[in-house]
Amino acid sequence: MTRKHRRLILVLACGAGLGSAVALTLSAFRDSVAFFVSPSEIAAKAPPAGRSFRLGGLVEAGSLHRTMDGARPAATFEVTDGHATVSVHYIGILPDLFREGQGVVALGTIAPDGSFRANEVLAKHDEAYMPKEVADALKKSGHWNPAAGPPPPAATWNDMTVTGAKQAKAGG
Amino acid sequence: MDARTALAPPAKSPVPGGRNLHRFANPGRFLRLSGKVLPWFSAAGLVLTLIGLGWGLFFAPADWQQGDAVRIMYVHVPFAWLASAGYVGLALCSLASLVWRHPLADLAAQEIGPVGAGATALCLATGSLWGKPMWGAWWVWDARLTSVLVLFFLYLGHVALVRAFDDPARGARAGAILALVGAVDLPIIKFSVNWWNTLHQPATITLTGAPTMYLGMLWPLFIAALGLTLGFVAVILARTRAAVMERRIRALLLAQAQREQVLPRQVGA
């Protein structure tokens, strides 16, 4: 065994040790690394009242009600992860991407009645990027309802042409 | 005489695999090869970047919900890829430096540092500009954003550490160890969006599935990314060439100074 081999093995061994140490640490701190908790996690183990945390999930279709709180806009909506639902109340301006079916992350506390009082609402956008024409064509043809969930598999739409989508929309 | 032997090429390695690697680590060969490819890389990088960014910023369609703000992607995503890819390069150079003691790997690592830090800074800045209008926040402490910030600090730490010693060999050694330890951040960056809840969305382009991006947006992104990558490589090659030449000049000046110091004494004696 030459010195080069010895050094290579030493570096690889250090790397393996360091890698497993970091992996163990990260899995131990799994909960604190998570940016938000989901409604079903709250249903399973409710955080103490008055403690601020982040709630994440999809805005349920048909649940958004916009009102006015004095001069400021207010909104009530349900956040769901498919299994559990939490009602959220927020006073302030919602981000531009906010809509039904969109992922959101809200920072706030659980009120005594079990609803969530948000101080801040962030919109989480998904990993799909499509022009308006393609989105309209998918909606028109009934392949996708953005309020109900994520878009259909990418292979069905990512090579659609904008002019083709326009024609499909006009024809359909 | 001693100074001249120090300038002579190092003795050939007796290990066959080592000899193969040393063929590319020869600084003279590196200067010749890189000198030939550098103008091509620079020109192709510039042209492809202009085509990709021009296409993406002015002709590609806007996103159905993000509108024109989606165009930040054509700058943000290539720099995010380069930030990670640059660090992979840095870690490989560090491995070559620690195990095979390549002097050229030391110089390349030293020059990748500032360029990678620049790419990471641009990735963070464009991401922040994109996050405010879309998410509603300039910055959040989610796993993806935090791990990229850690990558930026790793680059800065490497830049400072390799230049902190009077003896460049010791600086290179310390920097190589830091770079290899920091490489543990790379899988964390890549998989942070899958392992944990994050505000940042998961990957659009994956090895396993169709890219969830309209192809008319994907092409300009790929062209811009290819152009910026060629530019990134060209900058690193140019910097490494300059570092090799600097080191040669220093060695020549040192040899000359030694000769001048030795000769008068011999004459006087």
Among A2, A33, A34, whose Cβ lies nearest the Cβ of B15? A2
Residues A16 and A90 in one domain: no
One domain for residues A112 and A58: yes
- How many domains are there within chain A? 3
User: Is the domain of A16 the same as that of A43?
Assistant: no
For range B147-170, the mean pLDDT: 94
Same domain, A109 and A136: no
pLDDT of residue B8: 43
Considering the domain architecture, whether residues A140 and A162 belong to the same structural domain is answered as: yes
- Assess whether A120 and A88 both reside in one domain: yes
| Tens of pLDDT, residues A123-146 | 988 888 989 888 888 888 888 888
pLDDT of residue A147: 81
Together in a domain, A119 and A148? no
Q: CB-based contact (8 Å) between B139 and chain A?
A: no
- Checking if the pLDDT of A104 tops 50, the result is yes
Residue B40 has pLDDT above 60, yes or no: yes
Q: Is A111 a residue whose pLDDT tops 70?
A: yes
A119 and A142 assigned to the same domain: no
**Whether residues A23 and A66 fall in one domain:** no
Q: What is the largest CA-CA distance in chain B?
A: 87
Domain assignment of residue A163, given as a range: 132-171
B203 touching A (Cβ < 8 Å): yes
Predicted TM-score (pTM) of this structure = 0.87
Q: Is the Cβ pair B61, A33 closer than 8 Å?
A: no
Interface predicted TM-score (ipTM)? 0.85
The CA distance from A49 to the nearest CA of chain B, in Å, is 22
pLDDT of residue B9 exceeding 50, the answer is: no
